[in-house]
Amino acid sequence: MRKMHQQQALEFVKLLEEANKEIRTSIEKRDIAGAQGLLADCQDGAIELGNLIEKTEGEGFPGIPLIERYCELLYQAHEGLGLAEDHAGKLYKTLRQQLIKIENSIKYDVKIRKEVVFLPYKASMWDSLESVWRAADADPDCDAYVIPIPYYDKNPDGSFREMHYEGTHFPKDVPVTFYQDYDFEKRRPDVVFIHNPYDEFNFVTSVDPFFYSRNLKQYTDKLVYIPYFVLAEIDPKDKQAVTSMAHFVTKPGVFNADRVIVQSEAMRQIYIDVLSQAVGEQTRKTWEERILGLGSPKYDKAVSAAVSDEEIPEEWKKILYKADGTRKKVVLYNTSVTALLQYSDQYLAKLRSVLDTFRQNQEEVVLLWRPHPLMEATLRSMRPELWAEYEALVRDYRQESWGIYDDTAELNRAIGLSDGYYGDGSSMVNLCQRAGMPVMVQDV
């Protein structure tokens, strides 16, 4: 039984208790017809309560015979009420004792099941929730739903452009529920996990407004935010570095969540300090309770990254192996949105330089280029004047086929395939370091 159903059943019992009091009052006032009407109403309510419990717990639930006995007492009182005017207190006590037994059975005999919902929006960011989902899915007392949600690219003026839905891009062993098939108002999941904290305050994309954190709060008892990124660890005492963290921390998803799970205890302290400074030192205790430094699921995935031969696309194998069958070294080249926005034209020049260098060394080293998933949407929205040149670079690189272009959701396949990291400073640096990979950050 879900906790909300248990609560409904207990509220039913309270209503019956109030009705029993009214029965006693009616009898004491010699309003026998009124008392008989209330007894009939109580019997109908008890039957409805029994049906509610049977639906989730089955006919063998210990509370069902107790409800049946309560119904018998109500019937006997109804039939013999004409002779029972002087026994209102005794009848009330008998009914109350039976309701206490029913209430205790609902409290202690019911096996509570949790319903937990995970709301990823981009399949490439699923690794920020995956290990938590796998733990929930393995719990026999938990029903875990993965519900990929739609998102929109934004125009430069902030209006919505194309809608995207990536529910078909998730791993085959992850059962996906279509977002329109899950009724949040009716089901009211016990816990909802999100990894997008921005609500409407993202210049590049927006999840469907229904899934903004402020709206989701009304449909669950616990909203949990886990960042889709990991950051380089910094000292909580480094005030300048902590100040630079503020734009990651002061987001709607953080403020609206009941719990926020971050990558480390040091990062937890930074979140607490930034939030306390932003909204008042008197709120520090709230953030200390709400922010948890339990680690990032992205680390769990990166550390265990391994790639079987079956997972490697055939067109990649032609690039990965030399003529003698030995495998070339693979460099994971990561390009980020932040660096592109910062350097613009210089960044495109850097891209051309990097591609030329690796093209000249393609017999020994494979470049596995993995751009940020929002690179195209960011360019179209915030640097439209650069889009044509960038698109041409990507098109030529893919057509020449001397390197790998990876825009799939399989980040950890890329990590598992690669021997080293090169590219922008981003959350992927930390993931590759956790995976034991040497790292070099490019200088645009």
Read off the CATH number of the domain in which 58 is found. Answer: 1.20.120.660
Mean pLDDT of all residues belonging to the chain: 92
Section 245-253 average pLDDT:
92
What is the value of pTM for the model shown?
Answer: 0.73
**Sheet with 191-194: strands ordered across:** 142-146, 114-119, 191-194, 222-225, 259-261, 291-292
* Predicted local confidence at residue 404, as pLDDT: 97
Parent domain of 428: 306-441
pLDDT(111) > 60: yes
Flag the least confident range among 42-56, 104-118, 228-242, 328-342: 228-242
Whether 227 and 100 map to the same domain: the answer is no
For tokens 């026998």, what's the residue?
32
* Predicted local confidence at residue 443, as pLDDT: 93
* Sign of the CA dihedral with 78 first, then 84, 85, and 89 last: negative
Q: Which of 327, 330, 317, 305 is nearest to 432 (CA)?
A: 305
Whether 17 and 136 map to the same domain: the answer is no
Going by pLDDT thresholds of 50, 70 and 90, the confidence category of residue 265 is very high
Question: In this structure, are residues 136 and 222 in contact, taking their beta carbons and an 8 Å threshold?
Answer: no
Question: In this structure, are residues 128 and 226 in contact, taking their beta carbons and an 8 Å threshold?
Answer: yes
* Predicted local confidence at residue 113, as pLDDT: 92
CA atoms within 13 Å, Cβ hemisphere of 87: 11
Q: Which of 300, 335, 350 is the last residue of a domain?
A: 300
Chain-centroid distance, C-alpha 332: 28
Whether 180 and 257 map to the same domain: the answer is yes
Question: In this structure, are residues 111 and 81 in contact, taking their beta carbons and an 8 Å threshold?
Answer: no
Tally of domains within the chain: 3
Going by pLDDT thresholds of 50, 70 and 90, the confidence category of residue 409 is confident
pLDDT(405) > 90: yes
Question: In this structure, are residues 358 and 442 in contact, taking their beta carbons and an 8 Å threshold?
Answer: no
Pinpoint the alpha helices (H) of 29-121: 32-57, 63-80, 88-108
Whether 415 and 342 map to the same domain: the answer is yes
Q: Which of 275, 300, 325 is the last residue of a domain?
A: 300
Whether 423 and 329 map to the same domain: the answer is yes
Whether 344 and 434 map to the same domain: the answer is yes
Residues forming a β-bridge with 151: 164, 207
Chain-centroid distance, C-alpha 333: 29
pLDDT(302) > 80: no
440 membership: H or E segment, kind and range:
strand 439-441
* Predicted local confidence at residue 85, as pLDDT: 57
pLDDT(84) > 60: no
* Predicted local confidence at residue 273, as pLDDT: 93
Going by pLDDT thresholds of 50, 70 and 90, the confidence category of residue 374 is confident
Whether 270 and 396 map to the same domain: the answer is no
Find all residues with CB under 8 Å of 164, minimum gap 6, and list them: 150, 151, 152, 153
Whether 184 and 317 map to the same domain: the answer is no
Beta carbons within 10 angstroms of residue 49's beta carbon: 25
Whether 324 and 430 map to the same domain: the answer is yes
* Sign of the CA dihedral with 232 first, then 238, 241, and 244 last: positive
Whether 140 and 100 map to the same domain: the answer is no
What is the CA angle 221-223-225, rounded to 5?
Answer: 165
Rounded Cα–Cα distance for residues 397 and 407 (Å): 13
* Predicted local confidence at residue 86, as pLDDT: 64
DSSP 119-185: E-SSGGGGGGTHHHHHHHHH-TTEEEEE----EEEE-TTS-EEEEE--GGGS-TTS-B--GGG--HH
> For the domain that residue 391 is a member of, what is the CATH number?
3.40.50.2000
Find all residues with CB under 8 Å of 34, minimum gap 6, and list them: 26
Residues forming a β-bridge with 384: none
Whether 262 and 228 map to the same domain: the answer is yes
Question: In this structure, are residues 443 and 425 in contact, taking their beta carbons and an 8 Å threshold?
Answer: no
Residue type, position 311, single letter: E
Task: Kindly give the interhelix angle for 32-57 and 63-80, rounded to the nearest 10 degrees.
Answer: 160
Rounded Cα–Cα distance for residues 427 and 82 (Å): 78
Write the pLDDT tens digit of every residue in 29-46: 888 899 999 999 999 999
Whether 66 and 174 map to the same domain: the answer is no
Q: Where is pLDDT greater, at 28 or 174?
A: 174
Question: In this structure, are residues 211 and 149 in contact, taking their beta carbons and an 8 Å threshold?
Answer: yes
Q: Which of 300, 324, 357 is the last residue of a domain?
A: 300
Going by pLDDT thresholds of 50, 70 and 90, the confidence category of residue 191 is very high
